[in-house]
Amino acid sequence: MTKTTFTFQELKRTNHREIKEMQDKKFKAFIRYQVWPNHPYYRRLFKENNIDPFNITCIEDWAKHQIPLVRKIDYKDNLAKFVLNPSQVDGKDRDPAEVIKNLMSFSKAAGYNDLYSFLRNNGARVKLHLGGAKAMERLKERLTYLYAPLQFWLSSGRASGLPSPVFLTRHDNDLLFKNCVKVGQMAVDAWAHEGWEMVSMNLFPYAPHLGWHAVNLGLKQMSKFYIATSGGGAIPTGKLVDIAGAFKANGFAGMPSYLRNRFFREMADSDYKAQEKVVVLLAGEKIYPRVAEDIVQTLTEKGAKKVRIIGGYASSESKTSFAVQCNYDGPYHNVSPLLMSWELVKLNDDGSYEFVGEDEPGNVTLFHLDGTGSIVQGFLLGDVASRQERGKCPVCGMDGPFFWDIGRTNDAEAQIQVMGLSEKKIKGATVNLTALRTDLLALAGVEELQIEVAKEDMNDPYSMDVLNLYVAPKVAVNSDHTSLIHEVASITKKSTEITPKVVIIAFEALLEKAGGMKFMEIFDARPKPA
């Protein structure tokens, strides 16, 4: 009998060899009996590249057969084809009996004995007409649970400027529920044995994005008391600080720049009294040392004796689980190695690629080992890590796969190579500025424009990101541009979730500002942290 996933305690006592063995068993079953029959994109990819999916027995075989890696642009252009759909094959309806047969093969090969027995018993009843109608009902219900999309959250912006959805089924939702709690458990593990209990506060932005939802499910399960709010939303930051004080919060989760530049700054200016031990879980953006230091400083000034800053890592596509640090100086542990695997790959100049050795940096590539809804394999996330190891963590002693120093591929050209398009991370959200520029230029009142990504305080590389739009109008600069400014702002807000600062500027002045002949359509003016 195979486990769908580990609990945190199980994860702590399983060694990396056992984990790798289970990963490969699940991956093999998943590719053969879920992906190959039910995944339109990979089915075509296998056929086009003459790949026999039955030759894939472990994750490394992906590189052995040089199966093309999937870039974000491939995903955006084929959204529906990335969703497992057992009811059709090669564009034609599939016989329901075959749907059940494939799922039985999967459950058997993956070691899901309960699912296998359920399918076999009810399938036999249908065949033998022994309470067949009821059995059919139960099978249908299970298939709906497993395969029908229930919700989505948004990944980065696609060519049209709209963000692309990643679909989750009820099954995925249950997987998320079981797995997200481990992120919090890992974060507080060092204090758990002392009987320390968490009063937690969710300060991720409330949006159809993975962060808030996963943290909501996780904190609710593991906290003594949970303050289910959100950052940058309906409640002013000052009020959020008051609430944190009133309920004696000792655990905060949110995006690094929001927490540093809004929440903890507000806290610094108030007469807040911090709890003795505080955990801060940061995710969604790269965590710079200065940001972490400032947060610790504020909490310490307010009376905290010990502060643990922990980084989490996930992407919309990882869907049901995460990687999380065991300590501020520690690596990121994959807390659900039975659901997914992050592999580091090196992209060669000749278009081939390879999995890197334990000491080498690489592009973070995602493989799903389970789940339904949107499924990706060999998916380039656009992040790089300095190395990945399997074995005992030198910091916490836990065994399993973990990686170090995750950061986003920032260089625009490298990004185009890896993802197929240029995106910028602004305030934690990934924004396709090329698409935004196209949309804005389509406005009748706009002659030309430059998009500038900057910082609220240009002398502080850790301050909040801002988006400046320099717009040269079709008509004279000194006429009334109120409605144009409003229009530009509203389109930008709609496609990027960011309210921009719109500056009206004469065409010639814009040309000069944006570099004359070499017009910089999109300019990232953000100062880089030293």
Binding mask 340-379 for Zn ion (x = CB under 5 A): ----------------------------------------
Residue 450 DSSP SS3? strand
Residue 422 DSSP SS3? coil
Quote the least distance from Cβ 278 to Zn ion, whole Å: 20
By CB under 5 A, residue 115 contacts Zn ion: no
Quote the least distance from Cβ 397 to Zn ion, whole Å: 7
Query: 212-224 as b/e, with b when 16 or more CB fall inside 10 Å?
Result: bbbbbbbbbebbe
Quote the least distance from Cβ 396 to Zn ion, whole Å: 3
Quote the least distance from Cβ 281 to Zn ion, whole Å: 15
Quote the least distance from Cβ 177 to Zn ion, whole Å: 24
Which residue, 325 or 372, has its beta carbon nearer to Zn ion?
325
Written as six digits, the tokens of 304 are: 């905290």
Which residue, 118 or 404, has its beta carbon nearer to Zn ion?
404
By CB under 5 A, residue 326 contacts Zn ion: yes
Q: 232 and 172 in contact (C-beta within 8 Å)?
A: no
Which residue, 393 or 511, has its beta carbon nearer to Zn ion?
393
Q: Which residues pair with 83 in a beta bridge?
A: 374
Choose among 401, 338, 370, 335: nearest CA to 22.
338
Which residue, 187 or 431, has its beta carbon nearer to Zn ion?
187
Q: 249 and 276 in contact (C-beta within 8 Å)?
A: no
**Cα separation, 285 vs 408, whole angstroms:** 9
- Measured torsion, CA atoms of residues 350, 356, 360, 364, in degrees rounded to the nearest 10: 90
**Sole window of 228-236, 329-337, 423-431, 476-484 interacting with Zn ion (rule: CB under 5 A):** 329-337
Quote the least distance from Cβ 221 to Zn ion, whole Å: 22
Which residue, 19 or 396, has its beta carbon nearer to Zn ion?
396
Which residue, 29 or 326, has its beta carbon nearer to Zn ion?
326
By CB under 5 A, residue 312 contacts Zn ion: no
Which residue, 33 or 322, has its beta carbon nearer to Zn ion?
322
Written as six digits, the tokens of 477 are: 């600069």
Which residue, 236 or 394, has its beta carbon nearer to Zn ion?
394
**Sole window of 10-18, 201-209, 249-257, 326-334 interacting with Zn ion (rule: CB under 5 A):** 326-334
Which residue, 330 or 382, has its beta carbon nearer to Zn ion?
330
**Cα separation, 523 vs 426, whole angstroms:** 13
Which residue, 40 or 331, has its beta carbon nearer to Zn ion?
331
Which residue, 33 or 403, has its beta carbon nearer to Zn ion?
403
Q: Which residues pair with 281 in a beta bridge?
A: 253, 310
Quote the least distance from Cβ 287 to Zn ion, whole Å: 16
Residue with tokens 């039955």: 54
By CB under 5 A, residue 190 contacts Zn ion: no
**Sole window of 20-28, 120-128, 204-212, 324-332 interacting with Zn ion (rule: CB under 5 A):** 324-332
**Cα separation, 488 vs 501, whole angstroms:** 10
**Sole window of 210-218, 287-295, 318-326, 340-348 interacting with Zn ion (rule: CB under 5 A):** 318-326
**Sole window of 321-329, 418-426, 481-489, 496-504 interacting with Zn ion (rule: CB under 5 A):** 321-329
Q: Which helix (H) or strand (E) holds 496?
A: helix 482-496
Concatenating the DSSP letter of every residue in 391-404 gives EE-TTT--EEEEEE
Quote the least distance from Cβ 327 to Zn ion, whole Å: 7
Q: 401 and 19 in contact (C-beta within 8 Å)?
A: yes
Torsion sign, CA atoms 133, 136, 142, 147: negative
The number of residues that bind Zn ion (CB under 5 A) is 5
Find the DSSP H helices in 227-310. 237-246, 256-258, 264-268, 289-301
Quote the least distance from Cβ 120 to Zn ion, whole Å: 41
According to CB under 5 A, which residues from 221 to 250 bind Zn ion? none
Choose among 484, 456, 458, 457: nearest CA to 470.
484
Q: 222 and 192 in contact (C-beta within 8 Å)?
A: no
**Cα separation, 92 vs 211, whole angstroms:** 37
Binding mask 378-417 for Zn ion (x = CB under 5 A): ---------------x-xx---------------------
How many Å separate Cα 90 from the centre of its chain?
30
By CB under 5 A, residue 330 contacts Zn ion: yes
Quote the least distance from Cβ 400 to Zn ion, whole Å: 9
**Cα separation, 336 vs 15, whole angstroms:** 13
Quote the least distance from Cβ 186 to Zn ion, whole Å: 8
Quote the least distance from Cβ 138 to Zn ion, whole Å: 43
Which residues make up the interface to Zn ion (CB under 5 A)?
Answer: 326, 330, 393, 395-396
